[in-house]
């Protein structure tokens, strides 16, 4: 895997950045930002802010956020966020206050939702490690992978056999879901059913403390790891590596053609032009259209 240039810092001075997601121009989320051709939205967790970057400028989209971490767009273009401090999943349309709609499982508070992926049919998948909750405050004795219907407050537990479940991303055709198992040092791959079920759990690749994940249109899996971003072919072979001076936490493809990889790495956002195209599920189009056009 070749790259046009080394990663470059495009904005810095944050406390701990996470949850990058590219938003196309015309989105209500970007109203008032002056962004001309889309923008990257990301979290600054300790600052409890959602920020944006576009055209060399940055700004604040929402604060406080309950220490939002991972973010994703739903099919309607609204922002779904995992809130560490608030221990919930929220929805934000850019116009009104964010609505916290998933907070409990079977009556017990979630640990601290970490990252989220949204299927093109609207079903929301999220991970729930205990990173941001004190041991004595935990109400669940496991770390779950959940899915929830768009208008529901009651998540379904899909798997409880992770040690710090973290980033997650769908394959281009949405038949597989990749999930980082951080403490065990690997990414697991599941077959994803159309009804939201997960099956055929197996280790996809090994890497040091995997965090955020994204996928390109060729099915290659990009993983934020300890020393940089590792790239794996669909069969799990390691095919590339991007070294970074700061430890990356999460990644997303963006820009108009989807070929720029944005990397959230502690205090800075890095960008690298790649020869890949992100498998961005452009809203209003099917997964097949999004990954193949």
Mind listing the pLDDT tens digit for each residue in 72-103? 999 999 999 999 999 999 999 999 999 999 99
CB of 243 closer than 8 Å to CB of 228: yes
| pTM of the shown model | 0.94
Q: Domain with 45 in it: what CATH number?
A: 2.120.10.30
Closest CA to 130 of 80, 66, 87: 87
Task: Yes or no: say if 220 and 242 are a contact pair by the CB < 8 Å rule.
Answer: no
Tokens, residue 283: 């809203």
Structural domain containing residue 101: 8-292
Query: What DSSP element (H or E) covers 289?
Result: helix 287-292
Domain annotation covers residue 52: yes
Is the bond into 153 cis (omega within 30 degrees of 0)? no
CB atoms within 10 A of CB 173: 14
Residue 2 inside a domain? The answer is no
- SS3 for 117? strand
Say if residue 280's pLDDT is above 80.
Answer: no
Handedness of CA 29, 75, 24, 19 (dihedral sign): positive
Q: Taking the CB of residue 106, how many other CB atoms lie within 10 A of it?
A: 9
CA–CA separation, 250 and 20 (whole Å):
7
- The Cα–Cα gap between 27 and 40 comes to 12
Cβ proximity of 78 and 92 under 8 Å: yes
pLDDT digits (tens, 9 = 90+) for 148-199: 999 899 999 999 999 999 999 999 999 999 999 999 999 999 999 989 999 9
Report yes or no on 258 lying in a domain: yes
In the chain, what percentage of residues exceed pLDDT 90?
90
72 occurs within a structural domain: yes
Taking the C-alpha atoms of residue 102 and residue 128, their distance in angstroms, rounded to an integer, is 12
Q: Is residue 180 part of a domain?
A: yes
What is the number of structural domains in the chain? 1
Residue 226 forms part of a structural domain: yes
Residue 29, domain member (yes or no): yes
Domain membership flag for residue 3: no
- Tens of pLDDT along 38-73? 999 999 999 999 999 999 999 999 999 999 999 999
Take residue 280 and report the two structure tokens written for it: 């961005």
């Amino acid at each position: 895997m070749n790259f046009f240039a080394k990663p470059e810092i495009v904005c810095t001075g944050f406390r701990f950045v996470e949850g990058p997601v590219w938003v196309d121009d015309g989105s209500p989320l970007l109203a008032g930002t002056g962004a001309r051709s889309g923008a990257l939205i990301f979290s600054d967790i300790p600052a409890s802010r959602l920020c944006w970057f576009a055209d060399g400028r940055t700004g604040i989209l929402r604060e406080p956020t309950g220490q939002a971490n991972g973010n994703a767009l739903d099919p309607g273009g609204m922002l779904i966020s995992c809130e560490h401090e608030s221990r919930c999943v929220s929805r934000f349309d850019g116009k009104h206050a964010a609505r916290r709609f998933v907070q409990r499982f079977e009556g017990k508070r979630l640990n601290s939702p970490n990252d989220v992926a949204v299927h093109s049919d609207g079903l929301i998948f999220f991970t729930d490690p205990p990173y941001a909750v004190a041991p004595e405050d935990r109400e669940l004795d496991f770390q779950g992978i959940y899915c929830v219907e768009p208008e529901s407050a009651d998540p379904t537990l899909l798997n409880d056999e992770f040690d710090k479940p973290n980033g997650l991303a769908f394959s281009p055709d949405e038949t597989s879901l990749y999930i980082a198992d951080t403490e065990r040092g690997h990414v697991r791959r599941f077959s994803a059913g159309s009804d939201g079920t997960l099956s055929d759990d197996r280790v996809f690749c090994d890497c040091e403390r995997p965090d955020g994940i994204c996928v390109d249109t060729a099915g290659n899996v990009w993983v934020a790891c300890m020393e940089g971003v590792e790239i794996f072919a669909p069969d799990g072979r390691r095919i590339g590596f991007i070294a970074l001076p700061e430890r990356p936490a999460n990644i997303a493809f963006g820009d108009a053609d989807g070929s720029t990889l944005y990397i959230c790495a502690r205090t800075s956002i890095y960008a690298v032009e790649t020869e890949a195209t992100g498998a961005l599920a452009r809203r209003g189009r099917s997964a097949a259209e999004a990954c193949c056009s």
